[in-house]
Structure 1
Amino acid sequence: MKQIAAAIDAVNDLTGRVICWGILLMVILQFAVVIARYVFSTSTLFGIPAVWFQEGVVYLHGMTILLGTAYAMLWNKNVRVDILYDKASPRVQDLTEFFGSLLFVLPLCLVIGWSALPNVVGAWAVKEGSLEPNGIPFRYVLKALSLVFCVLVSAQALSTMIKAFLRLTGRSSDPIYEVSDEL
């Protein structure tokens, strides 16, 4: 079980480290849009319509959120609404992690995935593109990332549950979350 959790953690860590470069690219694209529009007064940049750059920023923003959420969960950098967690004993914290993942995170991912599936299938069926003329024609791919989000977050919840279970049963003393100052 520990190897399963480690494999899930490795996938989500790699995904997060790759997708974080999207933030830098987002800034560069937005800068290019501003330069094209206000310095050169043009609607194209290097022969590419400016709408591609603008939509590229939106696509990257969506990708960063959808693919980076499991990474944030892995490193315990997600937003929490728990008042007593920090003051609780390690056993209560492990129980909270286990049942929180089981009763909240996994069902939420199921509802999101189930709700998104018809929209994603419809978008892929028609290869849905941009609403803008000359826009990026791959909107269906962006919509499919909502299902990838569900898979990555569900897998990370499973990893958290495994690590909490191992701690609760005395088979591991490893922390559920790694501590990192680089995030």
Structure 2
Amino acid sequence: MSFIHHFIDQLSELTGRVLAWLSLLMMVLLCLVVILRYGFEIGSIGLQEGVTYLHASIFMLGAAYTLKHDGHVRVDIFYRNFSPRSKAWINSLGGIIFLLPLCVYIFFISWDFVLQSWAIGEVSTEPGGIPAVFLLKSLIPIMAINLGLQALADILRSALVLVEAAND
């Protein structure tokens, strides 16, 4: 059980590190768009959409990394004062009751949407746009899988805390 959550944590960590570099690339592209538009009066729909695709990638794929590092918003008034065992119960139940079902729901609700986009080879409606909208839409179920895996890792980690507490 410990091996599984360590593997998932490493996957989320690797994803987060790659996304950090994509953030830098997005910033460079955005600066390039601004310089080209306002400095040289050259517009590029492809570059603008590239910024949008990178932003979507960072947001969607970064959800699992953020969960791993406990960076999501939570009502922390009571939680911060709880014992590790109480926190483990809350994290386990929250993951099982709320987060995993949400990930499953997002995956299944988006599946046909993404398949339809792939079937028609959906492209940008803008002239000069990126001809790969189907890739952008594919981020939705991938996000659900990544977030679900990280939720599973957190549930397993909390279960280990509960088992250790029971043995003490």
2:34 alignment counterpart:
34
Distance 1:42 1:86 in 2: 52
> Could you report, residue by residue, the CA deviation over 1:61-86 in whole angstroms, capped at 9, with x for unpaired residues?
10001111100111111111343111
RMSD: 1.4
The 3-state SS of whatever aligns with 1:81 is: coil
The answer to which structure has the higher helix fraction is 2
Runs of 4+ in 1 over 6 A off after TM superposition: none
The one-letter code of the counterpart of 1:20 is A
TM-score, normalised by the number of residues in structure 2: 0.95
Q: Which residue of 2 aligns with 1:62?
A: 56
The letter of the residue matching 1:75 is H
CA distance in structure 1 between the aligned counterparts of 2:157 and 2:127, rounded to whole angstroms: 49
> Which range moves more in the overlay, 17-26 or 76-85?
76-85
Using CA pairs under 8 Å that are at least 6 residues apart, name the structure with larger relative contact order, 1 or 2.
2
Percent identity among equivalent residues? Answer: 39
| CA shift for structure 1 position 103 | 0.5
Matched, 1:13 2:13: yes
Q: Report 1:114-133 matches (<5 A).
A: 114-133=108-127
What does residue range 1-183 of structure 1 map to in structure 2 within 5 Å? 1-43=1-43, 50-170=44-164
Per-residue displacement from partner, 1:111-131 (whole Å, max 9, x unpaired)?
111111111010000111112
